[in-house]
Amino acid sequence: MASSCHHVEVPGKPTETGTALLETATGTIQGFAPINQIHQHLCAFHFYADDMTRQVEAHHFCSHLTEDMRQCLIFDGPGADARLIGVEYLVTEKVFLTLPDEEKPLWHSHEFEVKGGVLFMPGVPGVVERRDLEEVCKTYGKTIHFWQVDRGDALPLGLPQIMMALTREGQLRQDMADFRRVLQEERENRAYMSGPEHGIHPLANAAGKGLKTEIREVDIPASATSGRVFT
């Protein structure tokens, strides 16, 4: 699938043949159980809560921990050169309601994304996609982004949704009328879906004051040993 993300050049020289061969060997010997549990690819755009003109192309690669919780690695594209930019946890309403009230504002509902047609599963036939999205529509998510990565220049609202209207064959739709037709059809196809059983919780999708991770300088005491694990 083509990606509309602006990739930033990663520092360092290209991977050498020796490194590739070593990776092939270790990949054969070692196990990657957590990664091998990923069996789902969801795509959407994440908007900055405090600046809705900025957005991140977010490709979620998810695994089910239980029927009530999924964990997703978020990359800035679907290709082999994609960068890991965050994680998202998806939980059912049952789990969300057990969270402390001070935690609930950090979570968002998925009903709008799903019923609006702007969250999709690349390459998956519509009838199969909608079966899973029926469940996603009822969930809440908590996203942690590692990097302040966006698509570059600020874009007008609505344009990211146009750019993510990919055909099942992976080609970006360029025709605005065609996009609107396809998006409207998908919205109609998903109209029967419902969100959380008790409605979207008033503490979710918080507006007003938010929390933002800031980098700050701290003093690190000298280590008594020669080695140190940095955190």
Q: What confidence score (pLDDT) does residue 25 get?
A: 73
- Per-residue pLDDT at 175 exceeds 60: no
For residue 162, the surrounding DSSP H or E stretch is helix 159-163
pLDDT at 170: 44
Kindly tell me the sign of the dihedral angle through the C-alpha atoms of 132, 82, 108, 172: negative
Averaged pLDDT, 32-50? 86
In angstroms, the Cα distances linking 90 to 115, 142, 202, 209 are 17, 7, 18, 23
pLDDT band at 19 (very low <50, low <70, confident <90, very high): low
Q: What mean pLDDT is reported for the chain?
A: 78
Q: How confident is the model at residue 211 (pLDDT cuts 50, 70, 90)?
A: low
Quickly state the pLDDT bin for 116 (edges 50, 70, 90).
confident
pLDDT tens across 143-158, in order? 988 876 554 444 443 4
Residue 98: CB atoms within 10 Å: 8
Note the pLDDT tens digit of each residue in 47-60: 777 777 777 788 99
pLDDT at 178: 67
Q: Percentage of residues in the chain with pLDDT exceeding 70?
A: 70
Three-state SS at 7: coil
Pairwise CA distance, residues 37 & 158, whole Å: 34
Q: Cα-flanking dihedrals φ and ψ of residue 84, to 5°?
A: -75, 120
Collapsed DSSP state (helix, strand, coil) of residue 34 = helix
- Which residue from 173, 199, 197 is spatially nearest to 186, judged by alpha carbons? 173
User: What percent of the chain clears pLDDT 90, i.e. is strictly above it?
Assistant: 36
pTM of the model: 0.75
Instruction: Phi first, then psi: give them for residue 104, nearest 5 degrees.
Output: -55, -35
